[in-house]
Amino acid sequence: MAGPLFTAAERIFNSDLRDALARLLPEVEFVLPQEASDALLPDLEAVAADCFEHVRECDLVLANLDGPDADSGTCVEVGFAIGLGKHVIGFRTDFRAGEVDGVNAMLRYGCNEIVSAPSFSGGIMELARAIAERIGRLKAPMSPEPTEIVRYRLAGDGDDRTYVIPVGRGREFAAICEAISKFWDGGMTGDPPEIPEWAVEVENPFGRLTFSDWRVED
């Protein structure tokens, strides 16, 4: 997590967001910017070196881009992450306008994606859920072949399901899902079709999906 850590409010926000994300994604380790820096202060060169090392070691950078102009140290970390080919998710609770999505155009298009959760529309948990959803899209069970994600609603019990399937089997899986739905809607007789073994169900903690969300995602 990259972001300013200079005021009490900034430190509390960082900690609260990390705790909220940890509840939603307990299998993911989130590193707070202030955790290591406090032990290194007042050696600012050591603090900077530690920040660079964390960016080198991480799988993904979450960048706090709040403010009329994003924190300069955070921008350096974002640029460093981009240079290393890391995935960068920027986020803003600040509702003030900027060049693009509230920030400088170079910063906006340097980030892989931006999560916007204006401060007047919700709290920490709303922001955490939006970030967790983006991270969830990047995660998938280990597989010897490329995978894609399919979401659908099973008509029989109304539950939303998320599956990871091998690339190229999207149409086949969609047909199976449709057959299951038709069976539970009374349009078929006999035994219901079964989900194939190559479709692995994964947890989708990010809210219910409508039938229109039943699709193959890139």
pLDDT tens for residues 86-145? Answer: 889 999 999 988 788 888 888 888 898 899 989 888 789 999 999 998 888 776 443 444
CATH number given to 8-138 = 3.40.50.450
Q: Which residue has the tokens 């449709």?
A: 178
- pTM for this entry: 0.62
Confidence of residue 39 (pLDDT cuts 50, 70, 90): confident
Long-range CB pairs of 51-54, under 8 A, 24+ apart, other chains included: 51/2, 51/77, 52/77, 52/80
Closest CA to 204 of 153, 133, 146: 133
d(CA 3, CA 65): 7
CA dihedral 40, 46, 49, 53 (to 10 degrees): -30
**Nearest alpha-carbon partner for 209 in 177, 168, 185:** 177
Minimum mean pLDDT range among 16-20, 57-61, 70-74, 190-194 = 190-194
